[in-house]
Structure 1
């Protein structure tokens, strides 16, 4: 039990530098609002790291008095962690650990509040069935990955998919239904905000099939400021690393034939027979590949940007050889962020119309999914 009357100055200062949240590592509970009723009241406790009496938790015969009303010795805590450090587990919460927690929390609050106003970003997600998997990319999960570059403009995300949809990619109307849903949600929830200028920047966290992601990319073209994120499996994170160089190689077709196919072999290789079994032998096959295909290789923004530049080159080369009115058939094996980037760099007036295929084991291989048609005027 504290015997010191802490000054109002230090109480206010502690509330400010802690952001009104519990400073115990991993807690971060808001201490001015009840989580259930949402009513506002002060439910915080001010705890001493070094007790204000020598016989208290972590007390000292000399320093207890000296630090009794010292802001460096005070922590803002919730009831649970106040009890933990002063009663239930004093030995497990030594002075050195609490000092470390306090500094860590206050530095995080300071960094978050120092972000410039132009760094606010709207979080956009796409949750879509991939085979038998139904993702659930939530605001509470992905919002933590914006800092230190951006911070959430709103305490919610705009989702353009359907969570727990009963549609499966083997269903006859799957692609038309998913495309209609994407168009409707984009037009209702996102486009008005983009058109009005309310949204200045988007942090996009996509999890879906390649064709729909490419279509979304054409809707979020390079006119808008979009940070396309990539979920990694090892480690499990949406964070980016520093710039990484990846060499994307464009292999041109040996002959100009009637049909055109572009294999994007980044997550896995695609043999030509899988293409000709769909389009026939009279097909010019192009490829964009990397030395070691891997579904987890995208770790930096530079890899996404560099892929976009290689796609622009591919679009130019194929149009030069086949003409503006040809149809480019895309067969993708690639990370989700690069599927979005493909759509973002595609120019609706300059580049070829595309037919996007999707690999479906239940249907025996690549199947036609959607068309993306260029503008003629």
Structure 2
């Protein structure tokens, strides 16, 4: 195992050397609201793009919202010149996950990078998530109405099936327990029509196909959600992994992707107690599909600090104090052993016990209650199996949300809000 004190940008060199040949590099975060994680992830991603030729960045966000950012950073038709404007258009709660100053800075850099390159060589920005059922339906209507009117009937049938539930898609999940209420066949027909055109008709058709895949994934997600258990979590992470694979295919032979998502999605679930509950995640699935030597998983952690989160689902975000990690946790151990900031690259025969043993590893979602620290907010983890590398920040500070109008988001399963 290699430990590198992190200060100057060049201190990321050992990590870059470890991941530069991977087809997929997944970079996590221990919270959705810490400046330090976003900033270091941005710095590493810039180098992966500029020095290693990665093709796109795919994030734990909605496809339609991120598609507006993609058009901005690639200079595509209809894209705004200022990426921050596209980010400020994010409406689904929790908006601060992507509509923040740190992501805006990266996207401005990415646009400047892309504008110096031929259109075919530009680096994309895409969303992997499954929640945007209604936004994706509207995007499909917009595309088909203009480009493929003959396929509008399939989209209208799917829309009419969901329409009685309005924006309350959780009610669709409850109603779907009765077979007559399900929209599966309408969604399958819509998928077939959009898939027919995606391979031959350019980026617009591909985006319509992906939006249809979101509708299909959301339909499965809400049916599983009402049943409880790990089903909806697995639907979501399988959908995100399938989207990643479609992007790799779309960008062509030799394409390589960077993924930004929470540690709980990025770190291999088989090295946590998630596996015992029957849960998978994108880190595990990518390793299984592409090979562990072609996928690099990078986690983050800290001992204490501040974070942007919300006390309840759908409530306004606020800066909260993250107390020192509880005794016996991985974070408490690293606080005792590591410099203020460090990069850990795992491997080799002589791994210390805190790398190979199972220790509690803190995970903070968009909903956070610091009083739960004594018993919650931790995932039992074998660190060296869960990640290929780990970035340690002893103390973190809250990120900087952009002004945004947030609509309530859909409920998530486990852990809360990751």
Task: Give me the TM-score of the superposition, normalised by structure 2.
Answer: 0.27
Structure number with the higher strand fraction is 1
Say which structure, 1 or 2, has more relative contact order (CA 8 Å, 6+ apart).
2
Rg (Cα) greater in structure: 1
